[in-house]
Amino acid sequence: MSETPENTAPQAREHAARAGQLDAADPLGATVRDRFVLDDTVYLDGNSLGALPRAVPDRIADVITREWGELRIRSWDESGWWTAPERIGDKIAPLIGAAPGRVVVGDSTSINVFKAVVGGIRMAGKGCTEILVDATTFPTDGYIARSAARMTGLAVRPVEPARIADEVTERTALALVNHVDYRTGQLNDLPGITTALHSAGALAVWDLCHSAGALPVGVDAHHVDLAVGCTYKYLNGGPGSPSYLYVRESLQERFDSPLPGWNSHAEPFGMTPDYAPADGIVRGRVGTPDILSLLALEAALDVWDGVSIEDVRTKSLALTDFFLDCVAAYVPPGRVRSVTPQDHGRRGSQVSLACSPMRAGSVERGGTPIAAEVMAELIRRGVVGDFRHPDVLRFGFTPLYTSFADAERAAWVLGEVLRALPEEPAVAGAGR
Q: What is the pLDDT of residue 421?
A: 84
Domain shared by 21 and 103, yes or no: no
Assess contact for 134 and 193: CB atoms under 8 A.
Answer: no
Q: What is the pLDDT of residue 126?
A: 87
Using CA atoms, how far residue 327 sits from 148, 320, 381, in Å, is: 43, 10, 17
* 231 DSSP assignment: S
- Amino acid at the residue 249: E
For residue 75, is it within any domain? no
pLDDT at 431 over 90: no
* 149 DSSP assignment: H
Indicate the helix (H) or strand (E) that contains 227.
strand 226-229
Say how far residue 170 (Cα) sits from the centre of its chain.
Answer: 31
Q: What CATH number does the domain containing 332 carry? A: 3.90.1150.10
CA torsion angle 411 412 416 417 (round to 10): -30
Q: What is the pLDDT of residue 356?
A: 73
Domain shared by 122 and 42, yes or no: no
Q: What is the pLDDT of residue 2?
A: 44
The whole domain housing 173 covers 82-304
In the chain, DSSP finds a helix count (H) and a strand count (E) of: 13, 13
pLDDT band at 5 (very low <50, low <70, confident <90, very high): low
Assess contact for 361 and 381: CB atoms under 8 A.
Answer: no
Domain shared by 288 and 373, yes or no: no
Domain shared by 106 and 37, yes or no: no
Using CA atoms, how far residue 52 sits from 59, 247, 302, 369, 399, in Å, is: 12, 29, 12, 31, 14
Mean pLDDT of 210-220: 98
Task: Tell me which of 252, 286, 304 is where a domain ends.
Answer: 304
Domain shared by 22 and 102, yes or no: no
Q: Cα 242–248–251 angle (5° rounding)?
A: 115
Assess contact for 402 and 319: CB atoms under 8 A.
Answer: yes
Q: Which segments within 266-419 are labelled E, that is strand?
A: 336-338, 350-355, 383-384, 386-388, 392-396
280: closest CA among 297, 300, 257?
257
pLDDT at 368 over 70: no
Q: How far apart are the C-alpha atoms of 161 and 135, rounded to whole Å?
A: 7
Domain shared by 263 and 403, yes or no: no
pLDDT band at 367 (very low <50, low <70, confident <90, very high): low
Task: Tell me which of 304, 321, 355 is where a domain ends.
Answer: 304
For residue 401, is it within any domain? yes
Domain shared by 170 and 274, yes or no: yes
Q: How far apart are the C-alpha atoms of 91 and 82, rounded to whole Å?
A: 16
Q: What is the pLDDT of residue 254?
A: 97
Q: What is the pLDDT of residue 359?
A: 54
- Amino acid at the residue 387: F
Q: How far apart are the C-alpha atoms of 384 and 375, rounded to whole Å?
A: 8
Catalytic residues: 138, 207, 232-233, 394
If you count them, how many residues does the chain have?
432
Domain shared by 117 and 264, yes or no: yes
Q: What CATH number does the domain containing 281 carry? A: 3.40.640.10
pLDDT band at 353 (very low <50, low <70, confident <90, very high): very high
As for how many domains the chain has, the answer is: 2
Task: Tell me which of 274, 304, 334 is where a domain ends.
Answer: 304
**104 pairs with which residues across the strands?**
245
Mean pLDDT of 2-24: 79
Q: Cα 195–200–203 angle (5° rounding)?
A: 65
Calculate helix-pair angle for 55-62, 291-300, nearest 10 degrees: 150
Domain shared by 292 and 345, yes or no: no
**186 pairs with which residues across the strands?**
347
Q: What is the pLDDT of residue 8?
A: 64
pLDDT over 70 percentage in the chain: 93
Mean pLDDT of 331-347: 96
Mean pLDDT of 354-382: 76
- Per-residue pLDDT tens for 372-418? 999 999 999 999 999 999 999 999 999 999 999 999 999 999 999 99
Q: What are phi and psi for residue 92, nearest 5 degrees? A: -80, -30
**247 pairs with which residues across the strands?**
226
Cis peptide leading into residue 357 (ω within 30°): yes
125: closest CA among 196, 205, 197, 202?
202
Mean pLDDT of 187-216: 98
- Amino acid at the residue 197: L
Strands 130-134 and 155-159: parallel
Q: What is the pLDDT of residue 11?
A: 79
Mean pLDDT of 118-144: 96
Q: What are phi and psi for residue 26, nearest 5 degrees? A: -70, 120
pLDDT at 214 over 80: yes
Q: How far apart are the C-alpha atoms of 123 and 120, rounded to whole Å?
A: 5
Mean pLDDT of 286-299: 97
Range in 90-104, 197-211, 223-237, 414-428 the model is least confident about? 414-428
pLDDT band at 357 (very low <50, low <70, confident <90, very high): low
pLDDT at 429 over 50: no
Burial label for 31, CB within 10 Å (0-12, 13-18, 19+), is: exposed
Return the sign of the alpha-carbon dihedral for residues 368, 372, 373, 376.
negative
For residue 72, is it within any domain? no
